[in-house]
Each structure stands twice: as C-alpha cells, then as structure tokens.
Structure 1
Amino acid sequence: MQLEFHQVDAFSERPFAGNPAMVYRLDSWLADELMQKIAAEHNLAETAFIVREGQGWHIRWFTPTVEIPLCGHATLASAHVLFEVYGEPGDTLSFTSQSGALGVTRRNGQLWLDFPAIGLGPVADRQAVERALGVEAIEVLGSTELFVVLASEQAVRDCQPDMAALARLPWLGAIVTAPGTGHDFVSRYFAPAIGIPEDPVTGSTHCSLIPYWSQRLGKSQLSAFQCSARGGELFCRLEGDRVKIGGYATRVASGQLLLD
C-alpha cells in the first residue's frame, strides 16, 4: 500500500518558517494505531488525516505520541493541500472534528480558520506553574491549557521552561503571552506532555488568546506573532463565540509512504 503525503509550512509565506504539518488525504480511515505510527514516523508537531464525509471533510490530528482534539496549523495545512494539490472547488471548506464544526475560507491568498472561542478560568497552584516555566507571571489562567501572561515580549522570548516539571502539570500544555512590540500580542506554546516541547506556531491556542487580548485591548481585530525560533504571523478577529485566524501556507514536500 502506498499513501500520498504533503508537508506544508503553515502560517508562513516562505519555506522553513511557520509550523510544519504533514497531511494525508485518505479514501477511508486507517486503524488508529497505524495513524499514530505514521505520525511518530514523521515526528512533526502534527500529522493530519482527512477523509471526505458528505459535502465536507472529517479531520483528525496526531502528535508523535497522541491524538489531540484540536489543531489550527494542521487544519490550515490541510486546506492548503485540498485547494492547491487536489483542486477542491470554491473558496470554503467544512471540517468535522472532535471539537465540532470547523471552517476554512480562502481569501486574497490567505486562509482563514473559523474556530470556537475558548474561555479561561482561574488556576489554583500558581507557584508550581511559575516554577515550571521559570517566570514571574502577571496572571495565570487556564482551560485544558495553561494560559500565563507575562510583563513583556522579551519575557516571553526569554522563557526557558523546565520541560520535565511542565509535563507533570495537569494541563495539555502552557501558553505564555504578553503585549507585543510590533504586534498586538505575542505568544509561545510548550506541550512536552503530548510530545511537543515547543510548537513553532499554534493556531488552536489563539482560540483563547484572541478573546483574552480582544477584551484587554478593547478591539476585535488583532495582529499576533508566535515568537518561536521559526516564528509565524497570525491575523485575528473575534466574532461572538468564534475566532477567525488568518495566515499563509507554503507546501515544501510531497511524497509517498510505502507500507507492506
């Protein structure tokens, strides 16, 4: 059996920046164990598998170690592949997922994700979070992810977590964020517990980042930058209980996986 794959740098107009994702368009689902092995073989933050269902697509995302409920950059990458490689007609795609209905719209060379906004609540053990991240936080909140607000962009760039300590905390990962110097806000995302020490550019974390910074800054349209080593720019809008996350994508490789 041969399976065609495509590697895309999401949230980037050029190769070797943004966040790489692997995309497989399948005729039918493979066994969960096999999809997990394929994701481990590629060893990227996420590998996306998509199967047509009715007029739309069902999408699933795997890190090298686990399946996850929501992923932005690999959804952006999947839309890019469907439009640019497989010639999907129109400018709108509908996906179903563990996190419900998702959409992607193509407009002026950009792809815009339509994702649910995610609210935040208080976190009790602030000191353990600060120790694991090696920071002094302005605010510590959480949902399924930790959400840690720092004083400045430089503090976000300088953050050096204790990955083992962070992996022991009862959250999928940790978002660190602050006001930006050239953007409305910046962030980084660390998730060693699910096999991602640092994710280069994370669409799904902006489901929390956009509502938070929209309220704090008093504006519904925002510019964002994820200041990892690769880096990536995101264009953001809050629309009620949904967030719109825009960015570019660049395909860098295509090939075939050979299976017995």
Structure 2
Amino acid sequence: MERMIGVIGGSGLYEIAGLEEARWSALETPFGAPSDQILTGVLEGMRMAFVPRHGRGHVYTPTSVPYRANIWALKSLGVTDVVAVSAVGSLKEDYAPGDFLVVDQYIDRTFAREKTFFGPGLVGHVPFAQPVCPRLSAICAEATGARLGGTYVAMEGPQFSTLAESRLYRSWGADVIGMTGMPEAKLAREAELCYACIAMITDYDCWHPDHDAVDVAQVVATAQANAARARAVIAALPRLMREAPCACGHALDGAIMTAPAKRDPEMIARLGPVLARSLKG
C-alpha cells in the first residue's frame, strides 16, 4: 500500500521545509473549506500534504477550526497517515516547556464542536478505546526522541484553564492539556486514517507554583522555538515510515448501524472518500 503523510500543523508550524513539487491548492469539501489552502508535494520520495490547523496567520479559534473539512480534504487527496502537531500545556513536573510528548489517550472536554461525519440517515459508531495508531505513534516517538504515551485533556477554550480546573485535570492523572486534539482524532478514526499526535509543550498551564499563569506571549514564544524542531521531525518521517499491522484502515467495518435500505443517499455521497472502502460493492 502506498502511504501518504498528512501533517496538521498547530501553533508555530505553518510550513514544511524541503518539500519538492510544492504547491498550495484551494479545496472545497461538503463541510466547507479547510482551514487554509493545502500544501502538497514530495518529501524524501514520499507524497505529503500539509494543512495549517488555524490557517496561516492563526485566524481560526480552537472551536471554529473546520475539523471535518480538514480531515475530509486530506482523505480525498489520498493521505493514509496523519501526524498532528499540537501546542499544549503540561500538567506534570515531568514535562517542561520545550519538551515533546507523543500522546496515546484523550479526555474530551469539548462541547461546542461537530464531532462526527455521521448523522440522521447514516449512523456510525467507530471503536475509539485506542484513539491513535500504534504504528504511526511509534514512528513519531522515534523521530522526536520523546516519550510514547500520555493523556491529552482537550478543553473547549479559547480561554485558558482556571486554577481549579488545572488542579482537577492533574488529579485525573492527565499529562497535557490543549484545545485542538478533539474532535480531530475522532474524525480521523471515522475516515479510517492512521493518526498520531506530537504534543509540543509550551507552558505549565496555571497549576505550577513557581511559574506565572499561562499567557499568549509565553505560548507563542515557546511554540516558535519548538517549530524548528518540529520541522526536523517532519523531515525525518518519510525515512522512518514502515508497514505494520494496525486496525485504523478498517475502523468502519461493522460500524455503520443504519440498514442499507434506510441509508440517506445524499449523506453517502457527501461522505465520498470517507466511505469509499467500507461501502465498496
């Protein structure tokens, strides 16, 4: 199977260095336009696509990011593996600003976002106990030299946490907190994409007694410092890509509950590339 890497860049990451045949293209999807034009090209012999999650210039809030359009667009381009790069706050002493962590679990505290491609007329329930691809996550951990395994609390935002909230999330044993991990990972699963998250730590949220409360200037400064390392990590991914068993590409097997005779033809057409394999034949 020919693999294609899709990179979703977070705060501080807006380009991919060394991309050959680079081209920015505008796409339209049934869910509106993606966050920005999508950059495609070839890196180290492997096809790649890149979408800046917040748009170049950071124009989308965490809530208003068009997550469904971004994932649909990447899937339609032939992407098989999505690497999400996200700025996060640390909830543990073990992780300091400037550190990277490859996430393997999520706690979804968002509430104002569209979280599924499915709906009335086509109901689907994908498995999500293991929300990231183990193969791709291991590759990202190898590329970053970071720990593989950590829990990401996804909060709605755009405000940062209260001190009480920060202490609560720490009591849950969570490792990092961010605003964009959900529903991105859920939608990638529905689209049968391998998905991994590289969390770039920018701050200590507001729980740490020896640090000021988090603010935008601090986040931006650390995110920009992290961006150079993130670009180096992305450049290494094609050389590390390898095949290994994973269930991501068959996430929709048995997931669609709606009887064939009751399925909405317009929804099936709308989901196009998402359903192409599972409804084949």
Please, what TM-score do these two structures have when normalized by structure 2?
0.26
Structure with bigger helix share is 2
